[in-house]
Structure 1
Amino acid sequence: MKPHPDPDAVGTLLRHVLDRLEADVAAVYRDQGLPEYRPRFSPVVRALEAEGPLSIRDLAAAIGVTHSAASQTAAQMARAGLVTHAADPGDHRRRLVALTPKARALLPRIAAEWEATAAAMADLDAELTVPLGGLLAEAAAALERKPLRDRMAEGR
């Protein structure tokens, strides 16, 4: 009998690891009195803090996700009162995402939790044969060079 999750089911295993990581970080935010705050918000907060208001396209590029993922995350954050969407003064066809005063007030707590998460990941990495972040970055780069679809076609 194969162990659960099946190490040959890489997608399932990745989702399992991601779910565990996100659930633990979300629990820390809940414990800190921020039940509406999601771990996926932190890259957005960090990008908007560093760059100022951004279009969804620029936000997606800044955090390394698809336009759709950035749009969905920004919408969740708007519902939580953490970002606003406003017309770009230079181009009224574009909407800019910006941090709200509520989000700005949370910046010290968000930064502290980001640092705590990074330290916890370093502790996890110390138990692994290869640091997880480095391995995932390496895998992402390899798939960018040659998608899995192409690799599968070669195997036929």
Structure 2
Amino acid sequence: MDHQPAGEYLGTRLRHLLDLLEGDVSRVYTDLGLPGFRPRYTPVIRLVHTAGPQSIRDLADTIGVTHSAISQTVNQMRRDGLVDLHPGHDARQRIVHLTDHARTILPTLDAEWHATTAATHDLDTELPHPLTTLVDAALRALHHKPLRDRIHDHL
């Protein structure tokens, strides 16, 4: 792949990177006997398993994604038979519980999680700057000043 000048096609290249990472993790799930299992399910299952039933809002806050994103993920997980939703104290609140099926696959997910974490550390050692550190720094910087504001500074 040709080297692109800094900033050109950044979104496209980031999507390609994410596609490569998620695609490989998805193939690992298939290799482990879980075809169709989505990588974004694992943090939800692990968190509900370790911390107990969680509201959609609590899951979003802990995982670091939007309420909308986690709600969509949880709804897909419900359709896939991995979680059940129960009303919370507030009628608008939905509490996520694991199904027996999700508990059955926990050992496989745990092994994959630890292997993926180790593989990520391996990848970080091959890069001039650890990807995990750069992603965290970019998220903090964009939280401080969104890209929209940065773009307007240059318009």
TM value normalised by structure 1:
0.92
Which protein, 1 or 2, shows the higher relative CO under an 8 Å CA cutoff with sep ≥ 6? 2
Aligned residues: 154
Alignment of 1:12-31 (within 5 A): 12-31=12-31
Distance 1:43 1:68, change over 3 A: same
- Equivalence for 1:94: 93
Alignment of 1:1-156 (within 5 A): 3=2, 8-88=8-88, 90-156=89-155
Structural RMSD (CA): 1.7
User: Is residue 5–residue 16 contact of structure 1 (8 Å, CA) maintained in 2?
Assistant: no
Distance 1:91 1:153, change over 3 A: closer
User: Is residue 41–residue 77 contact of structure 1 (8 Å, CA) maintained in 2?
Assistant: yes
Pairwise CA distance, 1:4: 8.1
Q: Which runs of 5+ in 1 are unaligned?
A: none
Q: What is the identity, as a one-letter code, of the residue corresponding to 2:54?
A: L
Q: What is the identity, as a one-letter code, of the residue corresponding to 1:63?
A: I
Q: Could you list the per-position Cα deviations for residues 33-67 of structure 1 after superposition, in whole angstroms to 9, with x for gaps in the alignment?
A: 10131111111112111221112111111111111
Q: What is the identity, as a one-letter code, of the residue corresponding to 2:100?
A: P
Distance 1:85 1:4, change over 3 A: farther
Distance 1:100 1:126, change over 3 A: same
Aligned-partner Cα distance in 2 for 1:31–1:85: 29
User: Is residue 6–residue 13 contact of structure 1 (8 Å, CA) maintained in 2?
Assistant: no
Q: Which runs of 5+ in 2 are unaligned?
A: none
Q: What is the identity, as a one-letter code, of the residue corresponding to 2:14?
A: L
Percent of residue pairs bearing the same amino acid type: 53
Q: What is the identity, as a one-letter code, of the residue corresponding to 2:137?
A: E
SS in 2 for 1:91: coil
SS in 2 for 1:33: coil
Aligned-partner Cα distance in 2 for 1:52–1:36: 25
